Amino acid sequence: MNTHIISGERGTKEKMTLTEEEIKRLLRIRKTVMQMLKDRGYFVGDFEIKMTREQFESKYGNNMKREDLVINKTKRNDSSDQVILFILLFFYLFINFSFTNWWFCTKQIYVFFPEEAKVGVKTMKTYTNRMKSENVFRAILVVQQNLTPFARTCINEISTKFHLEVFQVKKKNRSGFFYGVLLLLYA
């Protein structure tokens, strides 16, 4: 299981006006995630990485919930993709068998921002059911605290079908600096 710690803070359970500091943290977290997705080869526009606080608030409102920040991105093609696309086209045209849905779904990723501080199995099942229904097999969960032991077990059990990474948002320490950046636990 992958757990990564990125700078940020907690969200709120009910929909309410967020403080300026909370909005800034969520924007910083979103920008970090967007840059990471771009570095991994997903389609991410520079405008998404360079989004200002005003643009962020305009898009999501100042009573946003963490769940409103869900991201779905598609991976860019590389040169090896052209060979695979040719093979898929061959199958489609000559064998009347379509892998096109499979092809595009394996190239997608979701980023979920759960509302609850400590994510449990119910939330994990909600996300994996959504992924299954949309044929998306990769996701990142941006969580406020570590997962419950049952949620961790759930990730391990579904790891043959879904690749889930967990990024844990950490609070500021006493001196005002954010805690570490990377703690890995791969699924």
SS3 call for 71: strand
The rounded percent of the chain whose pLDDT value lies above 90 is 47
- Reported as a pLDDT band with limits 50, 70 and 90, residue 169 is confident
Average pLDDT, the chain: 77
What pLDDT, on a 0 to 100 scale, did the predictor assign at position 187? Answer: 33
Global pTM? 0.71
What pLDDT, on a 0 to 100 scale, did the predictor assign at position 113? Answer: 94
The rounded distance, in Å, linking the Cα atoms of 16 and 6 is: 24
**What is the average per-residue pLDDT within 10-16?**
46
The rounded distance, in Å, linking the Cα atoms of 30 and 24 is: 10
Question: Would you say residue 17 has pLDDT above 60?
Answer: yes
Quote the distance between the C-alpha of residue 53 and its chain's center. Answer: 20
Q: What is the pLDDT of residues 56-96, one digit of tens each?
A: 999 998 788 888 999 999 998 765 555 555 665 565 566 55
Tokens of 32: 């970090």
Question: Would you say residue 48 has pLDDT above 90?
Answer: yes
What pLDDT, on a 0 to 100 scale, did the predictor assign at position 7? Answer: 46
Strands 2-7 and 108-112: unpaired
CA R_g for the chain: 18
Q: Which residue has the tokens 């990723």?
A: 109
Closest to 34 (Cα-Cα) out of 162, 167, 123, 173: 167
Do 105 and 128 touch, CB atoms closer than 8 A? Answer: no
Do 141 and 1 touch, CB atoms closer than 8 A? Answer: no
**pLDDT top residue among 17 and 3:** 17
What pLDDT, on a 0 to 100 scale, did the predictor assign at position 117? Answer: 87
What pLDDT, on a 0 to 100 scale, did the predictor assign at position 31? Answer: 95
Contacts for 44 with CB less than 8 Å, ≥ 6 apart? 34, 35, 37, 38, 73
The rounded distance, in Å, linking the Cα atoms of 11 and 22 is: 7
CA distances from 150 to 5, 39, 78, 85, 153 (A): 20, 31, 38, 40, 5
Q: What is the pLDDT of residues 104-137, one digit of tens each?
A: 445 899 999 998 989 999 999 999 999 999 999 9
